[in-house]
Amino acid sequence: MFETVLINTIIGSAQLKEAVCTLQMPYTALCLRNIDIIKNMSAINKALRKLSEPSVAFCFFGPYFLGGSVRDDFDFGPVLLFKTSVLQKIAAELQPSKYAAFYELWLKASYKHIVYSIPITLEEDATITANSQFDYVDPRNREVQIEMEMIFSSYLKKTNALLTDTPAPVTFLSDFPVEASVIIPVKNRKETIADALQSALNQKTNNPYNVIVVDNHSTDGTTEIISRIASGDNRLIHIIPETKDLQIGGCWNLAANHSECGKFCIQLDSDDVYSSPNTIQKILDTFYTEKCGMLVGSYTLTDFHLNTIPPGLIDHREWTKENGRNNLLRINGIGAPRSFYTPLLRKHPAPNVSYGEDYALALVFSRLYPIGRIYESLYYCRRWRDNSDAAPGSAEKVKQNFFKDELRTFEILDRTSHNISLL
């Protein structure tokens, strides 16, 4: 009924073609990791029954698959069950590649056919170490990533979701209370909030700026620390939301719509610090040079005591002016710190969530406006036990990936509509 083929997810087109060209059974189990087929036959039989439906190309064992499930590191589990005829046809049409053949295979299959996910966990023979969330910015992986980007861009072109227009430069208005506002959402960060505030207040700028802290009902003494610092510096605006339903995205929206908010909103997390007293001015200068709606910098990973830890500088050099906004759909982040022209942030508010709100904004802004970049480190990002995204468990990771894949699903539809509107 089926044959098994063991492959790596990083594989060249010639290798993949050779691995599948002589298959003769109607179905093929593409094994990505070692599993005991006999132990898992009940689940595999369920997949084979689904594969018998004409429109289904392949099945895998996992919680979901969406139209926006387009990351090259999407977790298909240890095995995919393919119709051999579909597998061989797509394999024969693969572009020449050294690394991205598996990625191209399943992208093409998902575009032309139905992909069916079966929410069953299979028994595996070995424990697999998860990839780091920063693997795609590791320079050692750059050649692989360039090839993945090429394959993904071809996919977007076929689905009419590839952005090829050039967003118009943003014209900045001048009627704002101050030039910029540093936005700091915070809840229960008594150990770090004073460092963040002093870092923000010690900036040297050509024009006035302020710091807006949205204190989301802290209970650990954070509120008192903010109040004490605010009493000695009127540039610090301390907001406590009227309701208790705001997440990080909602706190950003509250600050951006405050009457004292400046022309530009500049990010600083409550446990991080700027790397220089000139960070804000550097960001403002770049806004005016690049006339962008959103500006993204780079940061250095540190421990709690601000000692640099691997991989050090996170600069997202995979971004290019030519194709960065398309490639953004393939990866999980755009970088930090993020800054926005305030009227545009008011027009396109962040979703009220505490994970992925930044990615949601990046997708929309990159579709509609120029994105500016600064590739030198602008702040120190502490990795410690209280980070909102530090070492999530497997269930939480699935939830996070689902949310971003859902964002991509809607964004791909929006980009398709955007391209149609340009015809």
Question: Which pLDDT score, from 0 to 100, does residue 373 have?
Answer: 98
222 or 131: which leads in pLDDT: 222
Average the pLDDT over 382-395 and give the result: 75
350 or 142: which leads in pLDDT: 350
Distances (CA, A) of 200 to 18, 158, 182, 271, 384: 58, 46, 7, 12, 21
> What are the pLDDT digits (tens) for 26-51?
999 999 998 888 899 999 999 999 99
Instruction: Residue 23: name the closest of 37, 39, 43, 3 by CA.
Output: 3
Q: Is the pLDDT of residue 130 over 50?
A: no
Average the pLDDT over 372-399 and give the result: 86
Residue 131 has phi, psi (to 5 degrees) of -70, 150
Give this prediction's pTM.
0.93
Cα angle, residue 10 at apex, residues 8 and 13 outer, rounded to 5°: 95
384 band by pLDDT with thresholds 50, 70 and 90: confident
392 band by pLDDT with thresholds 50, 70 and 90: confident
Domains detected in the chain: 2-158 (3.90.550.10), 180-393 (3.90.550.10)
> What are the pLDDT digits (tens) for 269-319?
999 999 999 999 999 999 999 999 999 999 999 999 999 999 999 999 989
**SS3 state at 281:** helix
385 band by pLDDT with thresholds 50, 70 and 90: confident
- Please classify residue 362 by burial: count the beta carbons closer than 10 Å to its beta carbon, then call 0-12 exposed, 13-18 middle and 19+ buried: buried
d(CA 262, CA 169): 20
Question: Which pLDDT score, from 0 to 100, does residue 349 have?
Answer: 98
Across the chain, mean pLDDT equals 94
